[in-house]
Structures are given as C-alpha cells and as structure tokens.
Copies of this chain bind each other. A is one copy, B any other.
Amino acid sequence: MFLLKTGVSHHNFHTLTRLPAQLPSKNFVLDKFHFSKETKSIKQLYETQNTGSRVTCTVNGWIDTKPKRIGKNLTFSQLRDVKGDTVQLVDSGSQLKALNREDVIQVNGTLMKKKEKSVSSAENIFEYEIQVEKISVLNSSNEKPSQLHEFKKDGNYPPEYRFLQLRHHKYQEFLRKRYQISCKLRQLLNEEEFLEIETPILFKPTPEGAREFLVPTRTKENSTPSFYSLTQSPQQYKQLLMASGVFKYFQVARCFRDEDLRADRQPEFTQIDMEMSFSNGEDVMALLERLVPTTWDQFSVNSSLLTLNSFGKLISIADNGGKINRMPYRTAMSVYGIDKPDLRAPNLKILDLSEFNAKGRLDKGFPVFEVLILKNAFKDIDDFKKNWSFLGDSNNYTFRAPVIQPINDEDLKQNWFEKFLGIATFENPKMISNYLKLQVGDIVCGSTREPSTAIYENPTPLGTLRKLVLQSSLGKELYMETKHDVASWVVDFPLFSPVTAPVKPEMQYPVYEHDKLVSTHHPFTMVQLQDYEKLNSNPSQCRGQHYDLVINGVELGGGSTRVHDPILQDYIFENILKIENAEELFGHLLRAFEMGTPPHAGFAIGFDRMCAMLSGTESIRDVIAFPKSITGSDLVVKSPSKVNEELLKPYNISYLKR
C-alpha cells in the first residue's frame, strides 16, 4: 500500500519513502491520454519544409536536453521524436521551462527556419526550430534519467536502466539493424525456396548433456517427476523435418544453454537454423557463400567481406569467384593455434621448430615445439614491459604459459633460445635464428603442442597468445592487414575427440582419456567418406563432414552433412560413443532413418554474433534488447528469483535438504 511517488504533480521525484497509494485525480490522468493523431515525425516535417515557410505542426517525443532559460520569456530545449531525430524547441511562454529531461510531450507549434548556413557556394543548409504554442505532457519523468545522463556521458547506464540506454540513438540503431538483417536473410532464404517452420522449444532432457535447462512438469502425487529440457538447438527436430519430406527448412530459432557465461555467451540466444534434404555439405557451403557475403555487402560497418585466395593473400570474396577459403583443421591448429583463426592478420603465423629439436625435454604427448614471432614489436625493454607483459602472464592461459623472449640486443638475436628456460636444446642455434630472420625489437614466443595428427588442445598456448595480441590495440595496429572482415571455412575436423579430464590449477597439459571418445560437434555428423573404414579400425583418426564459418576469429556458424543411415548412426552411438541408452535417447531419429529419411545437411548461424559483427560492436549484449548479465540475471526485471517452496509441490520437487 505504498508508493514511490508522492502525488499527482509530475515533478515529485523518486524518493525512498513509500506513501499510501492514492488514485490520481481524473484530470491529471486524462491529460495523459488526450493527444492529437495529426502528428508527424521530424523528418517528415523537414521534408514538407523545403520552402522555408512557417508551418503549424504537432510532434510527439521526449525532452532530450534540459530546458534552458535564455531570457525572461525565452526557453530553449531539444525534442527527440520516435525516430530518434531532434529539433530545437523555442518557448516564449512558461511551459517549456517547467519540464524535465525525458518528459514525454506532444508539442503544437510552428516550424520555421532558424538560420541558413552556407556550407559551400552551391549548397544552403537550413536549420529549423519549433516555436511552441502548446505542450501537452503525456507522461513525466523523474530526475533519474537526468542524473544518469550527467554521470554516464557514454550512454553506458547501469543495466537495470536498460530502457533508458535503449533510447539512445546508438542502441536504436542496433535494434533497427538487427531487424533489417533478419529481413534480408528471410528474403534471401525465401528466394532459395526455404520454408520457415517452428519447432518445439520444450524438448526431452539428454541425461548426459548436462548443460541444458530443465523444466519440471506437473505430476500426480507420489509419482516421479518428469521434465522437459529447453532445446539447445533445433538439431533433432530439423532432422525429423527432413524425415517429414520438407525440402529446405529454416528457422530464426531461440536456443538455450545453461553454460558458464562469458562476454559472447547468453543463456538464451538466437540462431538462423537451416537444413536441406537431398543435399550435402557442398550444397550448404555454396548456400552460405550466397547468403553471407551479400548480407555483409549490405550491412557491414567494415565494408565487404574478404577471404584468402589460394596463395594465402587477402581478397574480396567476389574476386575469389564467390568462394570462401577452406582451411583444414590441422592447418588452422598448426599455423594459428586455434580452430577459429582471426585471418585479418594472415601472416601472423606460428612456426613449427620441431625439426630442429631431435632430442628435447618435451612431454611425450606434446612433442611439437613451435614459436610465434611478433616482428618489430617494441623499441626498448621498458616499451616491451609496458605493452607486452600480458604475453607471459599465466592467468591468461588455461595450462602452461608460453615462454616469451624479447630480442633486445644483437647478441640475443643469435642466442635467444638459451633464454628459453627448460626448453630443449637446439642443434644449430645460428641456423634457426637466420631461418627466423630475427631482429632486435622482435618478440619470440614459444610453446609446445600435440602432434599434427591429433591436436585436441584448442586453442594451443600460442593460439591463445596470438588471440591476445590481436585483441590488444598495439597488436591490431602492428599485425592486422585490413580493416575489412575476413572469412574462412574451417573443415576436416576430427569426428571424435577424447574426453578431457577436468582442469586443475597445477596441470600444465590437458589430460585425455583416449579410450573414451565424444563427438567433436554432435553425434549426427557424417564421417568423411575416405575415412569410412577407420570407424572400425581407428575412429579417432576419422575426419567429419563438418564445416565452420569463421570470421575475424569468431565462429559465425557451423554445420555438417548428417548421417541418415540408421545402422551407421546406431553403430556410432553404441560402438564408438558407448551410449548405453541410445534407443531411449535417440530412438525417434533411428526410427525416422528406417522409414525413408533422405540424405541431408545443414547449418546454423549465430545470429547475435552476426548482428554484433555487422554493427561493429564487440559484445552481443549490445544487439539484444534485454540481455542477461554475466551471472544470467536480467537486471531490469530481476530474474531469476526465488519462489515459495509451496509452488514446487505440483511438480513433486522440493528444495534440496542437505
């Protein structure tokens, strides 16, 4: 029975004392609902105003700047309309001066030419102002927006005021662009004869895949509770659609993952999900090569999309015959140390020095010694310490940090390796130095990795280091060769990976359980046909028909040719992945495959990431209207929240009593 505002006047501000709720006076509320419909946007007004004559007008919007009294009877302010455009208000009466920033008003007035600027001899630019006749306050604002605006000039409001932040032009543009990108993709997919089909979000829990949200369902008393899960992606449903005779499917699909959150992860996110029957990965990649560059051309703040040509040079995709470079997983891992390399610095490459290192002190499972050289990276050792100390900071690495050696004198140029404490002795140091063309001012970064036939540590220490370099402003400046975005396919992934033991702080290397394989992507990915027989003899050496589309070191999306043979799929479930209850978990797919499911392949684009990239922002939170925080909270509405334990009864669950 308490209120946060004290009464009917629209200038009583937010206070901490709550007063008894009271019905506002009739006239006060009615005024908020009386507004004329003959309104125009500021742009429309300007368009009708080419003549420069005086025109009466009605405009809706917000007070965008604090009204400023200029003279006794003269107040200026800015009005911001529903499109985010602004116009100056001039009031020679007393209405405007009483208003607050972010008050919602309807103005009746006269639009007139304010002044005329001669920009060039040929062109005149008119500026307009509205001379206020009447202002109707349709809702008032307390002082909070004004206070926040003073303190947060950058528009980065505390997340609980997201609705104020979204009023800013920049965020309105993010929302608008996201919508326009979705329209474009829908249009292109429509032209390609895709149908959008909605699939269920309430799905079946996968007892193994722990990272899904569970949804309890109402159950009879004393019976074991049943749960839905929220779909992590429509993968199985879209394969069932292929079994249902759908030719080409897409969906702008909401997906859910109960993961540890990072800057580019959200518990709910959107993907553009696609699947095509009577198709394989080649068809899907060709489709994406039609969709993605077109979308980039139209929307990217960084202009058209580049790729690498067959000589490893940056080239526009159009000039590369419309094709996006295909990089095998092994190349990505050995040259860039990660399966999603940032190719805006195509020549920032890792070099394998193993051949110089016959008898090292290297770990058996990680026999490759490799270096990444940051050419011409610093002037003197202070400069090095200031800019590059993060390279050796072990907090930046999951396992061992690389060894870092700045080459700061001529002697080191020849004998740098001796500084690599604990690292192997090389046979002919001078030869290596010459091979590396080391100069004073270079930084040598060295580490170890697994053999090229089986690189599972992803990223490798040097892969992480390279990423850090390219995220630093100096690294960007020194090594990025383009302002454009750069795309590549990554292909030839291992179909299966060994289970990795949980990471402990003292571990220098990942530990694998080589007899327990999991799918690198998901168990529905088809093996490469030339590796088929290795499914039996050596499954860990099988490559999958999977393809990732990587742009600027970000996985824009991924897909694969799927298994559609029921026996092969069951063999993978049972003999390779050792899933004991495959029938219970995936019986629906096996049944569908037994009843005439055509060959099919598909893809999913991470739509939030795509929008963030095209909008030139690092964070997907910028392009989501109401994002969740790093702890999974929506700080506007304050979700998640506690519920009364009584509410859990119909589900036959309770708080855990330990």
Q: Interface 1/0s, chain A 73-108, versus B by CB < 8 A? A: 000000010111000000000000000001110100
- Could you tell me if B593 and A139 are in contact, using CB atoms closer than 8 angstroms? yes
Q: A237-B626, A246-B166, A636-B240 are in contact. Are A598 and B643 (CB under 8 A)?
A: no
The interface residues of chain B lying within 8 Å CB-to-CB of A22 are 567, 571
Q: A23-B535, A567-B22, A588-B637 are in contact. Are A268 and B201 (CB under 8 A)?
A: yes
- The smallest beta-carbon distance between A240 and chain B, in angstroms, is 5
Kindly state whether residue A124 has any CB partner on chain B within 8 Å.
no
Q: Show 24 residue pairs from A and B whose CB-CB distance is below 8 angstroms, ordered by the A residue.
A: A4-B590, A21-B573, A22-B567, A24-B565, A80-B245, A104-B599, A138-B278, A139-B564, A139-B598, A163-B243, A163-B244, A166-B244, A182-B196, A198-B254, A198-B625, A204-B639, A215-B215, A217-B632, A217-B640, A225-B655, A226-B641, A237-B625, A240-B636, A652-B656
The interface residues of chain B lying within 8 Å CB-to-CB of A7 are 567
A1 to B270 CA separation, bound complex (whole angstroms):
36
- Could you tell me if A62 and B240 are in contact, using CB atoms closer than 8 angstroms? no
Q: Interface 1/0s, chain A 227-259, versus B by CB < 8 A? A: 111100000110011011111000000101010
| Closest 10 pairs between A and B when the two form their complex, measured CB to CB | A166-B244, A204-B639, A141-B596, A102-B596, A167-B245, A82-B247, A226-B640, A163-B243, A163-B244, A21-B574
- Could you tell me if B166 and A195 are in contact, using CB atoms closer than 8 angstroms? no
The interface residues of chain B lying within 8 Å CB-to-CB of A82 are 245, 247, 277-278
- Could you tell me if A195 and B179 are in contact, using CB atoms closer than 8 angstroms? yes
Kindly state whether residue A267 has any CB partner on chain B within 8 Å.
yes
A246 to B433 CA separation, bound complex (whole angstroms):
61
- Could you tell me if A639 and B228 are in contact, using CB atoms closer than 8 angstroms? yes
- Could you tell me if A163 and B647 are in contact, using CB atoms closer than 8 angstroms? no
A201 to B218 CA separation, bound complex (whole angstroms):
20
Kindly state whether residue A380 has any CB partner on chain B within 8 Å.
no
- Could you tell me if A268 and B217 are in contact, using CB atoms closer than 8 angstroms? no
Q: A23-B571, A595-B141, A596-B140 are in contact. Are A639 and B202 (CB under 8 A)?
A: yes
Central interface residue in A215, A267, A588, by most chain B CB within 10 Å: A215
A256 to B254 CA separation, bound complex (whole angstroms):
13
* Cβ < 8 Å to B, chain A residues 624-653: 624-626, 628, 632, 634, 636-644, 647-649, 651-653
Kindly state whether residue A283 has any CB partner on chain B within 8 Å.
yes
Q: A33-B280, A642-B224 are in contact. Are A567 and B5 (CB under 8 A)?
A: yes
The interface residues of chain B lying within 8 Å CB-to-CB of A641 are 204-205, 226-227
Q: A83-B247, A197-B625, A240-B626 are in contact. Are A4 and B278 (CB under 8 A)?
A: no
Kindly state whether residue A116 has any CB partner on chain B within 8 Å.
no
Selected contact of A207 from candidates B217, B227, B277, B647, CB within 8 Å: B647
- Could you tell me if A644 and B176 are in contact, using CB atoms closer than 8 angstroms? no
Q: Interface 1/0s, chain A 255-276, versus B by CB < 8 A? A: 0101000000001101000000
Kindly state whether residue A366 has any CB partner on chain B within 8 Å.
no
Which residue on B lies nearest to A3, using beta carbons? B570
The interface residues of chain B lying within 8 Å CB-to-CB of A599 are 32-33, 35, 104, 138-139
Which residue on B lies nearest to A32, using beta carbons? B565
Q: A102-B596, A588-B637, A642-B224 are in contact. Are A270 and B198 (CB under 8 A)?
A: yes
* Cβ < 8 Å to B, chain A residues 159-207: 160-164, 166-167, 172, 175-176, 178-179, 182-183, 186, 190, 195-205, 207
Kindly state whether residue A575 has any CB partner on chain B within 8 Å.
yes
- Could you tell me if B202 and A268 are in contact, using CB atoms closer than 8 angstroms? yes
The interface residues of chain B lying within 8 Å CB-to-CB of A593 are 139
Selected contact of A23 from candidates B221, B568, B625, B651, CB within 8 Å: B568
- Could you tell me if B214 and A628 are in contact, using CB atoms closer than 8 angstroms? no
- The smallest beta-carbon distance between A202 and chain B, in angstroms, is 5
Kindly state whether residue A424 has any CB partner on chain B within 8 Å.
no
- Could you tell me if A588 and B640 are in contact, using CB atoms closer than 8 angstroms? no
- Could you tell me if B183 and A190 are in contact, using CB atoms closer than 8 angstroms? yes
A325 to B190 CA separation, bound complex (whole angstroms):
36
Kindly state whether residue A429 has any CB partner on chain B within 8 Å.
no
Kindly state whether residue A142 has any CB partner on chain B within 8 Å.
yes
Kindly state whether residue A384 has any CB partner on chain B within 8 Å.
no
A247 to B107 CA separation, bound complex (whole angstroms):
17
Binds B, one of A357-365, A370-378, A405-413, A525-533: A525-533
- The smallest beta-carbon distance between A342 and chain B, in angstroms, is 28
Kindly state whether residue A654 has any CB partner on chain B within 8 Å.
yes
A567 to B25 CA separation, bound complex (whole angstroms):
10
The interface residues of chain B lying within 8 Å CB-to-CB of A536 are 23
The interface residues of chain B lying within 8 Å CB-to-CB of A32 are 564-565, 599
* Cβ < 8 Å to B, chain A residues 103-151: 103-104, 106, 138-142, 144-145
A172-B246, A204-B634 known; 13 new pairs, CB 8 Å cut-off, are A3-B570, A24-B571, A30-B529, A83-B247, A179-B197, A183-B186, A202-B639, A204-B640, A210-B647, A217-B258, A228-B639, A648-B653, A653-B653
Q: A596-B104, A653-B648 are in contact. Are A62 and B245 (CB under 8 A)?
A: yes
The interface residues of chain B lying within 8 Å CB-to-CB of A2 are 574, 583
- Could you tell me if A199 and B643 are in contact, using CB atoms closer than 8 angstroms? no
Which residue on B lies nearest to A545, using beta carbons? B33
- The smallest beta-carbon distance between A251 and chain B, in angstroms, is 10
Kindly state whether residue A483 has any CB partner on chain B within 8 Å.
no
Kindly state whether residue A37 has any CB partner on chain B within 8 Å.
yes
Kindly state whether residue A386 has any CB partner on chain B within 8 Å.
no
- Could you tell me if B221 and A658 are in contact, using CB atoms closer than 8 angstroms? yes
Kindly state whether residue A310 has any CB partner on chain B within 8 Å.
no
A597 to B244 CA separation, bound complex (whole angstroms):
47
